[in-house]
Structure 1
Amino acid sequence: MDFETVKKVIYTNTISYFDNLSECKGLGVYFKNTEKVEGIAKTLSNSIDLPHQEIKRTFFKLGSEHYENSIPFYIFIDLINEIEKNVIGELGKDDSLDKNSLDKVSNYFELVRNSVSYGYLQKMIKSDKDIIRKELRSVKDKNSELRPFLRDYLIWINKVTEDIKKLRSCDIKNNVQWKNTFKNIDEKDYVGSLLSDDEIETIKDVHRKLINISFSIYYAIDKKKFTLLTSNYMELIKLVGKLISLATVNVAVRSLEGINIDYLTGLLNRKAMDFILNSQYQIAKLTGKPLSIVMLDLDDFKEINDTYGHLVGDCVLQNFAKELQENLRKSDFIFRYGGEEFLILMPFTEKRDACKVIRKLLEKISEEYICCGEDIFINLTFSAGIEDISSKHESIIDIIKLADKKMYLAKTTGKNKVVC
């Protein structure tokens, strides 16, 4: 193989790739520095005829440096892939190069990817180890019932991280034991007593993914596939963070329920709302699970106050709040939003399902009478708007605004209805 020709093609294609790199790809600003671009082009082109160990050292260092410069791993690997594709495409037009020569170039780029990945990986582990240790220490201060659950996970992730760092093969006995220890999470008293069935099922789903990714990690270690190993490690850390967030945030949310209660209705008040809404929104984003918001307003409530007085009005609100609590799930969050207006947060619920529940509730409420004193029987209806989480919503506030608009539409088009 004519290394000089190949080196020239790698160099020119690398320079050309960076010249055409737009800033929206995330690397444009960083690599507008011609000295950095020149350095990478020379490193890629001049290293192809070096011994394998020298190539590994060179690109391990390059991966480490780019991690420290906050260049995302996947973007940098994609960069190498694109340069390889362009180089192979150009060399393939050269009749003097046979298939064996092209295979050698492909193998070289595979070695580059693997070595860059390992450089990233070692830096990531060093950074994450400190976070894991900090989490282990902080577990001591968390809810005593939740502590064993989090501690066991963090001890296990600490072991896997050490195995990755030292490229140790899987300890089958340890991994199977860990798998069996957590296979019935819902039977754990210290979890089941704190979380709802939906929340436990979500944690179990994350747990299953952790088991699968751990086996993939040890496969990558055994095969020395560092690009795969780095991707798996990043997914592992993300899943562990997701699990900790799910467990601790939900417990924190539940603990608020006994503190921030509206004195009249017994529902959650506005003080608790911001924290609970934001935390549940983040959980939905983390897990990809649905979440729906209901904005609900009692119809003609002012007339009730004007006709019967505020004591009767208070009685109506108390009875309606009781109906909400009895007809919605324990995992739903019901807030007195203000006056006769209510906000209902329904985790793990698609909009179509939320609509069915609220329409059924409206039908039940409208067919009954509320008794508030002798000879005072009030027929109550409400107007509601419902919106759920989707990619177009940038925050929980967006969902509330849309639900509120739908509620207003229900009010202005006849009341006694649910707009979804």
Structure 2
Amino acid sequence: MNELITYEDLKLTENNIFRLKILLPTFGILLYLFSLIFKFAKYPLTPFLYISLFYLLFIILTHYLFNKIKEEKVIFFLLSISLIEIIIATFVIYYTGGITSYFFVSYFLIIFNISAFRFPNYPYLISAISYVSYLILILGQYYKIIPYVNCLTSEVYNINYSIFYQRGFFVGLFLLIFSLYANKVIKDLNNERKILKLLREGSLLLTSYIGDRENFLKSIAKIAKEIVLADSSSIIEYRDGKYKFVAWENFDDNVIKDIEEKMNLTKPVNLENIREKKSVMKVDDVYKLSYWIKIENVRSYIGSPIIYKDEVIAILNVDSKKPNNFSESDVTNIEILSKIVSTITEKDHLFNEINELNRRLEDISVKDYLTSLFNRRKLEEILKYQINIFLRKKINFQLIMIDIDNFKMINDNLGHLEGDQLLIKVGKILEKNIRKVDYLFRYGGDEFIIILPDFPPNDVEIVMNRINSQFKEEFNNFSKNYKINLSYGYLSFEDFYIDITNKNPENSYDDDFLFFNVLKYVDNLLYISKKLKHID
């Protein structure tokens, strides 16, 4: 089926045309009955009755079949029926007085029906077939091959050149004029439906790009160019008192850069007007405006505001190489698109706000409120991930647990606020001395954990010596007065894994078991380290 018309649309149009078509032969039958009753006809109308009955049965039969035919065959069926019907209608018109016949209305209905199919040039085909059939009948009459009897008057006469010319000329002229008009209607309908389809599909596409700013803007520029058949299009954003191109179609990047520089030297009048009035603007020939920044291949222009929270945040522009190229319909379509974009922009901003809120909630759920380091919940996720990486790819990692010696003395003597500041500063020292690929966690209280993926075991001491050195430098006074320092225990997961699986081979691939025990092991190593320093 023609993509420009739906089956439902076609069915509705066909049903409406059927009601009009059926009036013609019905009128013919009533005319015959009234002529019998009131005796107003000079000649018997029996042939006229037969033609009306035949035409009525044909219309009813084809309409019945139309409602029974499968959807995918509807267009072919209707075209075939239209071709047959136009020939029948031509014979009916010919034998009921030609252009003076009231059956001539059937031409309107058949061609109008064809228009509903939305296929350009079909009215010409139907008119040509009818006219050829009509000429054949006239020629047949002229050469006395086909007899002629007017069903309305029962008049029999021979045709001459004058009658031949008059009858052929006026019928042909009518068919030509009406087919031209019908074809224009088809093209206009197709164009409008195509635009509506672009707007509908464009809306869905733009909605799918919510949260993807780059593709969102590119798609707007592309859709705008297509719906008005423009040569180029662009979106200009207004922010902090400056105009900036954020998307464009069919413009050279250097041209865009040049225009942008000129726009911000002298405020562009067209953009300022659109922004201040918050309304669409059409210019038939930009060369006639002295203030316009002249661009090659831009003569006519439409600009429409994109509004968010009652403020113009951007302007959608379409351009044509030809002056006076855009119609009022084009203006309306661009305005509709910009309103759709404004609505989707609100959703996009809401989406970004929700994402930001979700990100903050995620941070709250996985980050320590005091130090902003990852918390125990995130530790479980990352540590299990590293364990599974090791199990699949044998990529080793180092695990360090760090504790602040005598931290309780700081809280007891200086207060918890001072203790909190100490924890924050320790977190920053640790963060400075690890790589971006490493992970740092506040495990609880004054304990921290570091995971070093794919890190040499022998280099752990180098890292800890650097951390200890910075710690002593930062907290020299605290170290003297309260004997605070850092204690730590660390292990290579590979060594731990060999040891634990030798003892528990059935748990070799149990990440919960490995997670629990690796923390237990490293905690024990930290405990040993503190004991060696005689610290509880």
Same fold (TM over 0.5): no
Shorter-chain TM band: 0.3 to 0.5
User: TM-score, normalized by length of structure 2?
Assistant: 0.28
The one of the two structures with greater contact order (alpha-carbon pairs below 8 A, sep at least 6) is 1
TM-score, L = length of structure 1: 0.35
